């Protein structure tokens, strides 16, 4: 597998970083993670030439890899400092998983579609990160064995906030999840406090549905 510095994609990746800066991404750690992570290795070969466009792309099984700006906005909002334990719901391609691996101490990531998870596992391993644990299952239940988490990121749209995820937040921990309909949602940040949770609405987004016991039905 090609390295992040593959000459074929260096110019395209740097142009993407310039575009993200122009859109308001200023966190140097997030920009470094994006620079270190070869997005072209997380998309099918048929769309690899578009890997560094700021656009979502299909990855199979009816799923997509989000546009880089959405990943960057998620991560900039969290302001990770490097020592956190983070849960990712929806491994998908594994791209955001590796971004997180560069930004925190431990990443626990859950994917319900096994073929996606196996493809993501190969790409993650090839990137050389060693602080990632993967699980195939219903991400709306979270991963209680390793809770509490300092941050939880949900990569699919939910009809309402999955309560098991809120329960697995550490005090002061933050959950970022798209809330709304199957096609359009609003990105929302929940912070766990001594008295419950504080909600902050971020921006309109469009994600695939979060399927699971505490999300949407499969149909």
Is 37 strand, coil or helix?
coil
**Contact yes or no for 112/136 (Cβ under 8 A):** yes
Four-residue CA torsion sign, 97, 213, 78, 55: positive
Is 32 strand, coil or helix?
helix
What CA–CA distance (Å, rounded) separates 28 from 50?
24
Q: Is 66 a catalytic residue?
A: yes
User: Tokens standing for 154?
Assistant: 């949900």
**Contact yes or no for 123/42 (Cβ under 8 A):** yes
Catalytic residue among 66, 109, 160, 219: 66
- Beta pairing, strands 185-193 & 132-136: unpaired
Q: Which residues are catalytic?
A: 66
């Amino acid at each position: 597998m090609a390295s992040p510095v593959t000459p074929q994609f260096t110019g395209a990746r740097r142009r993407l970083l310039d575009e993200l800066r122009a859109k308001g991404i200023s966190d140097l750690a997030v920009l470094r993670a994006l620079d270190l992570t070869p997005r072209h290795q997380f998309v099918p070969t048929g769309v690899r030439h578009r890997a560094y466009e700021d656009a979502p792309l299909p990855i199979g099984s009816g799923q997509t890899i989000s546009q880089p700006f959405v990943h960057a906005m998620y991560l900039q909002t969290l302001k990770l400092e490097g020592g956190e334990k983070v849960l990712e719901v929806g491994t998908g391609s594994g791209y955001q998983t590796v971004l997180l691996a560069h930004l925190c101490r431990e990443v626990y990531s859950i994917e319900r579609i096994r073929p996606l998870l196996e493809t993501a596992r190969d790409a993650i391993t090839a990137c050389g990160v060693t602080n990632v644990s993967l699980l195939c299952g219903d991400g709306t239940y979270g991963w209680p064995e390793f809770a509490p988490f300092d941050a939880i990121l949900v990569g699919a749209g939910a009809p309402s906030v999955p309560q098991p995820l809120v329960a697995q937040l550490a005090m002061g921990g933050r959950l970022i999840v798209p809330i709304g309909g199957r096609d359009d949602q609003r990105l929302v940040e929940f912070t766990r406090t001594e008295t419950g949770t504080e909600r902050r609405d971020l921006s309109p987004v469009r994600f695939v549905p979060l399927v699971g016991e505490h999300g949407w039905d499969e149909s």
